[in-house]
């Protein structure tokens, strides 16, 4: 026992020396915190094996780990890795108040980190605060220049629509713009509310975009009003508007449009899937008629949302093969189209319980596409 304690103390001292050294890295703090977590896990297992009742050291261990992350973020404020590790641990131990405080700090230090805005928005949506989730995504889109955040915003809206469809099936008068009541302790404040009570946690406010970002980069407040239309929301107007506004951004291109198409095509909000996918395809056909991304989406459209294990898929596949023949004649990059179709077919072949005849057709199609277009 004494040897084990001596070893633990020695390793802890080694980690302390490493993080206190002038050339310490974010990875050193993360490794220190992970070591403490593994030590705490070992303690819990040993207590369970020896049937030792709950002890106060559990809280002490969590406080020690949180302190390590706090020290790490204070020393390396620009490191995304340590902020994410901190948030992951706070979420794991359900330290809600700490999580929202850390997230607010992280967003202030790294306002152009799209992944952090996505994490904040998706957490708000999971907690039923869709209004708060939209606020995070809209503000993040004004800071971040890239397609990832926009696609994730649309994904979040589609998931919310699917939840509303399941929850309000057969009911009337329920708007998808309205979220469930959220616990005040899980709210990350913006600086719009000037009536705060001065609490230490509430004094940590989220960043504001610059005038240039507000004007040119992403969702402006005027554009946000486009999304705040209650009447058509149940028809998928919000994800449609997200795509339409993204078309005006500098990053928009065939790959972005294809990402939106794939998202809408795989959406669990079944009643909106086909219309949204068609909307994206119409835009792609107008902007990039001969691009392989457009041809790929056009070829796959007849089986959008159709389970490959259902009989309807076979009928749609016939239309797919007909469209593929036509797409070959106009596409500007045949090799790229062959790669896209091959990847799509591989995904279908990975589906379990696929009909043997259908599997044969798909395998033959993949070989033929590779030979003719590759």
pLDDT of 301 > 80? The answer is yes
Torsions phi, psi for 79 (to 5 deg): -85, 115
Q: What is the DSSP letter of 219?
A: -
pLDDT recorded at residue 203: 42
pTM: 0.80
Angle ∠(202,208,213) on CA atoms, nearest 5 = 165
3-state DSSP assignment of residue 289: coil
Question: Do residues 302 and 320 touch, judged by C-beta distance below 8 A?
Answer: yes
pLDDT of 184 > 90? The answer is no
Alpha-carbon span 91 to 120, nearest angstrom? 12
Alpha-carbon span 289 to 274, nearest angstrom? 20
Torsions phi, psi for 199 (to 5 deg): -65, 145
Question: Do residues 177 and 230 touch, judged by C-beta distance below 8 A?
Answer: yes
Question: 176-214 burial by CB neighbour count: b if 16+ within 10 A, else e?
Answer: bbebeebeeebebbeeeeeeeeeeeebebbbbebeeebe
Question: Do residues 302 and 344 touch, judged by C-beta distance below 8 A?
Answer: no
pLDDT recorded at residue 133: 93
Alpha-carbon span 55 to 59, nearest angstrom? 9
Average pLDDT over residues 282-300: 95
Q: What is the pLDDT of residues 314-334, one digit of tens each?
A: 889 999 999 998 998 899 999
Alpha-carbon distance values, 363 to 69, 145, 350, 355 (Å):
51, 40, 11, 12
Average pLDDT, the chain: 84
pLDDT recorded at residue 65: 95
Token pair 């795989």 is at which residue? 266
Tokens encoding 232 = 């058509």
What are the residue ranges spanned by the domains of the chain?
9-95, 111-190+205-263
More confident site: 89 or 227: 89
Provide the pLDDT confidence category of residue 233 given band limits of 50, 70 and 90. Answer: low
Alpha-carbon distance values, 170 to 64, 130, 166, 167, 173 (Å):
51, 22, 9, 9, 10
pLDDT of 294 > 80? The answer is yes
Radius of gyration for the alpha carbons in the chain, expressed in angstroms and rounded: 26
Alpha-carbon distance values, 23 to 20, 76, 155, 229 (Å):
8, 11, 41, 53
Question: Do residues 317 and 360 touch, judged by C-beta distance below 8 A?
Answer: no
3-state DSSP assignment of residue 77: coil
Torsions phi, psi for 197 (to 5 deg): -90, 5
- DSSP run (H or E) holding 287: helix 270-287
pLDDT of 195 > 80? The answer is no
Least confident of 1-15, 96-110, 170-184, 269-283: 170-184
What string of H, E and C letters represents the secondary structure of 29-70? HHHHHHHHHHHHHHHHHHHHHCCCCCCCHHHHHHHHHHHHHH
pLDDT recorded at residue 199: 44
Alpha-carbon span 115 to 113, nearest angstrom? 6
Cβ-Cβ contacts under 8 Å for 54 (sequence gap 6 or more): none
Most confident stretch, 1-5, 239-243, 302-306:
239-243
Chain centre to alpha carbon of residue 180: 21
Provide the pLDDT confidence category of residue 200 given band limits of 50, 70 and 90. Answer: very low
What crossing angle do the helices spanning 147-167 and 270-287 adopt, rounded to 10°? 150
pLDDT of 183 > 80? The answer is no
Torsions phi, psi for 97 (to 5 deg): -65, -40
Question: Do residues 207 and 111 touch, judged by C-beta distance below 8 A?
Answer: yes
Average pLDDT over residues 201-218: 57
Token pair 């044969």 is at which residue? 360
Share of the chain above pLDDT 90, in %: 54
């Amino acid at each position: 026992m004494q040897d084990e304690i001596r070893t633990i103390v020695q390793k802890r001292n080694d980690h302390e020396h490493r993080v206190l050294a002038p050339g310490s890295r974010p990875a050193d703090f993360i490794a220190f915190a992970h070591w403490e977590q593994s030590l705490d896990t070992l303690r819990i297992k040993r207590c369970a094996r020896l049937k030792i009742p709950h002890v106060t050291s559990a809280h002490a261990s969590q406080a020690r780990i949180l302190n390590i992350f706090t020290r790490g973020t204070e020393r390396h404020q620009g490191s995304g890795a340590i902020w994410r590790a901190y948030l992951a641990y706070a979420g794991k131990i359900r330290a809600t108040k700490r999580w929202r405080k850390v997230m607010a700090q992280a967003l202030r230090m790294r306002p152009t980190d799209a992944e952090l805005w996505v994490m904040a928005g998706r957490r708000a949506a999971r907690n039923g605060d869709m209004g708060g989730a939209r606020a995070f995504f809209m503000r993040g889109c004004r800071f971040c220049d890239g397609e990832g955040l926009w696609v994730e915003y649309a994904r979040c809206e589609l998931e919310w629509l699917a939840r509303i469809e399941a929850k309000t099936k057969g009911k009337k008068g329920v708007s998808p713009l309205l979220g469930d009541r959220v616990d005040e302790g899980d709210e990350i404040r913006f600086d719009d509310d000037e009536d705060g009570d001065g609490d230490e946690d509430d004094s940590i406010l989220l960043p504001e975009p610059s005038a240039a970002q507000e004007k040119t980069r992403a969702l402006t407040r005027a554009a946000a009003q486009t999304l705040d239309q209650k009447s058509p929301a149940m028809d998928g107007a919000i994800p449609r508007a997200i795509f339409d506004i993204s078309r005006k951004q500098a990053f928009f291109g065939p790959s972005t449009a294809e990402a939106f198409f794939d998202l809408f095509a795989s959406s669990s909000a079944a009643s909106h899937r086909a219309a949204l996918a068609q909307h994206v395809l119409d835009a792609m056909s107008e902007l990039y008629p001969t691009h392989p991304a457009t041809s790929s989406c056009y070829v796959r459209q007849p089986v959008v949302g159709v389970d490959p294990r259902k009989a309807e898929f076979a009928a749609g596949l016939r239309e797919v093969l007909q469209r593929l023949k036509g797409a070959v004649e106009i596409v500007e990059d045949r090799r790229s189209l062959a790669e896209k179709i091959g990847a799509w077919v591989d995904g279908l072949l990975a589906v379990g319980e696929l009909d043997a005849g259908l599997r044969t057709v798909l395998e033959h199609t993949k070989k033929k596409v590779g030979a003719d277009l590759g």
